[in-house]
Structure 1
Amino acid sequence: MKTYYKCLPCLLRQTIEATKMVNETPETQEMILRCVLSEMSKMDLNKTPPHMAHFIHQYIKKATQIDDPYRALKKEFNQLSLDMSGEMRKIIQDSAKPFETAVKIAIAGNIIDFGPRADITHQEVRNTVQDCIDQPLRYNRAEELEKAIQESSRILYLGDNAGEIVFDHLLLEVVPTDNITYDRKREANHQ
């Protein structure tokens, strides 16, 4: 995957949103934005958008001395996910196809990603979960996945977004094996 021109405005928006979240002065926000613009002008567009996003977030951390501009949002949406978990667990248990329903809910958890959009609302998360439950999977291979899991000796399950871990654990509760290691993606250079 490479970076297309249409990716650049999104990267700038992420920069602006992240600097606003850390309550920096307009002068610091401008300095960060100018640096990011300068770096974007030199960026190798054959690199991925996550590569540039990683640079942006590392630069913001360095310039503001704040490790995670999204910390408060993550905490808020982790709590929302926990608050929703009982209701989602019941939906899975009452489903004619619990594994498939749990897969849909795990997919829905991916909406909680503040890089692309930091203005996600609680209602959007709830609506996304309901939409994912109500809609058939476009390429439904849930039965094949469940069978492959049963036949596997070990599985590594990676999660990466705030709140997503709750949705993922609902899926893992219905997975018919104890040989799963759950981990979250860590900082990487995204190359």
Structure 2
Amino acid sequence: MKFQPRCTECLLSRVGYEAGLVLDDPAAIEEVRRAAAAVLAAGQDDPAVPAPVLAGAVHRCAYSLIGVDDPYLDLKKQNNRDALLAVEMVAPDLVTFRDYVTAAVLGNTFDYGVQSHQVTGDFLSFFATEFPKGLAIDDTDRILPLCRDIVYFTDNCGEIVFDRLLLRYLKAQGATVTVVVRGAPILNDATMEDALTLGLDAIADHVTTTTRGERELGVNLSLIPDDLAMALEGCSLVIAKGMANYEALTEYDDFPPTAFLMAVKCETIAGMVGVPKGSKVALLRD
């Protein structure tokens, strides 16, 4: 996906949000936002740059001015703690592949700073209401037969706890799974530290990163480490969580079958997918 002008204010509002997590001076926050806006304006001159690449450059600029490597750190840890409590309540009711996928998609709503998306303060009530509604796009019957050798791209903290449930299910069905987290902190996305803390290395066959340490959103195939490149070459299915991974991976034509699992949080992605904003989808692109 290429960057859409309608996405400008959402991106810059997220810059302001992350700056506000660290800085308590409105003038300093506005300075960060202005600098990020300048990076965005310069990047928009190249229409070939995918939206996640441009957004990554904007956030790198913001992080350098904020002066903190991971402004979301405390929030990410709290998200994981909240999710661990939530899964204790919901896990006993999950039985089928569709159940586990739906739970993982609902976990994608742990996403702070998205302008048009509100994170619920009562996730268990939200889950109880939304889970019976199912998925607006439900390709789980087509996805399951492909679940043999999987590369699983994670997204947010909190959400990754629900991914852990799905990963255990996939392993119990005999799948081989490579889990992929961000190569460096960016937004509230899960990193290797989160994966190891949650024990994903004891569930998956291998855990790796989207980059060799660069701070990037989505997936940029020119930056992936060798072990991820090898896993992608031999896999039967890619599972990609969240909108940034959707925006990135839809740029590639010569790519394995991909199941996009996400809550659709903005009108731009809603239009691309063909569903109303707020929809929950498990969309297979093969």
Q: Same fold (TM over 0.5)?
A: yes
Task: Quote the offset at 1:76 in angstroms.
Answer: 1.1
Higher RCO, Cα 8 Å, sep 6+:
1
Q: Shift of residue 127 of structure 1?
A: 4.6
Matched, 1:173 2:175: no
Question: What 5-or-longer segments of structure 2 have no aligned partner?
Answer: 184-214, 221-286
Of structures 1 and 2, the larger Rg is shown by 1
- Cα offsets for 1:120-169 (capped at 9, x unmatched): 2332x4354334421132333323322221xx2x2211112111111111
TM-score by length of 2: 0.58
User: Quick check: 1:158–1:184 contact (8 Å CA) kept in 2?
Assistant: yes
1:36 lines up with 2:36 in the alignment: yes
Give the whole-Å Cα distance in 2 for the aligned partners of 1:49 and 1:142: 28
Matches within 5 A, 1:119-130: 120-123=119-122, 125-130=123-128
User: CA–CA distance in 2 between the matches of 1:12 and 1:158?
Assistant: 25
TM-score relative to the length of structure 1:
0.83
The corresponding residue for 2:66 is: 64
Equivalence for 2:196: none
Cα distance in 2 between the residues matched to 1:55 and 1:81 = 30
Aligned partner of 1:78 in structure 2 is: 80
Equivalence for 1:158: 153
* Alpha-carbon contact 1:111-1:128 (below 8 Å) kept: no
Give secondary structure in 2 for the equivalent of 1:155: strand
Q: CA separation of 1:68/1:3 partners in 2, compared to 1, >3 Å: closer, same or farther?
A: same
Q: Secondary structure at the match of 1:75?
A: helix
Q: How many pairs does the alignment contain?
A: 183
Paired letter, 2:50? T
Structure with higher strand content = 2
